[in-house]
């Protein structure tokens, strides 16, 4: 939560000159572009992992089902981290 508040503060503070505004706009678009691809990457990697698991151990279709769901979960977590709703992994160090 504190991260959201911080980013809001940054958003209101940068009402200075034109270049700051342009950079804030670009980084807002950058965040928007990131959100969708994080989720897609999660599902794709989950599917690929599951497919490879099944091929190696011939456990079809269970590997695909399990890893697709795990990949989806990881993707949703990354989306939440990008949006600043959830603590980042690096905060645990």
Partner 1 sequence: MAADPIHQFEITKLFTIGHIGGQEIAFTNSSAYMFLSVAVISLLMLGTGRRLVPGRLQSVAELSYEFVASTIRSTAGSEGMKFFPLVFSLFMFICISNVIGIIPYTFTVSSHLIVTAALALLVFFIVLIYGFYKNGLKFFKLFVPSGVPIYILPLVVLIEVISFFLKPVSHSVRLFANMLAGHIALKVFASFVGMLGAIGFIGWIGAILPLGLTVALTALEILVAFLQAYVFTILTCIYLNDAIHPGH
What phi and psi, each to the nearest 5 degrees, are found at residue 58? 45, 55
Q: Which of residues 9-68 bind partner 1 (CB under 8 A)?
A: 23, 26-27, 29-30, 33-34, 37-38, 40-42, 44-46, 49
**Alpha-carbon distances, residue 40 vs 36, 53, 68, 75 (angstroms):** 6, 20, 11, 7
Residues 89/60, Cβ–Cβ less than 8 Å: no
Number of residues that bind partner 1 (CB under 8 A): 29
Contacts with partner 1, residue ranges (CB under 8 A): 23, 26-27, 29-30, 33-34, 37-38, 40-42, 44-46, 49, 70-71, 73-75, 77-78, 88-93
């Amino acid at each position: 939560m504190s991260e959201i508040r911080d980013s809001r503060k940054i958003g209101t503070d940068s009402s200075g000159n034109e270049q700051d505004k342009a950079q804030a706009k670009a980084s807002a678009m950058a965040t928007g572009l990131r959100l969708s691809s994080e989720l897609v990457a999660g599902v794709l990697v989950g599917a690929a992992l599951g497919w490879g698991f099944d091929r190696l151990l011939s456990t079809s279709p269970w590997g695909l089902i399990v890893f697709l769901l795990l990949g989806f979960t990881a993707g949703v977590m990354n989306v939440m981290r990008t949006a600043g709703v959830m603590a980042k992994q690096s905060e645990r160090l």
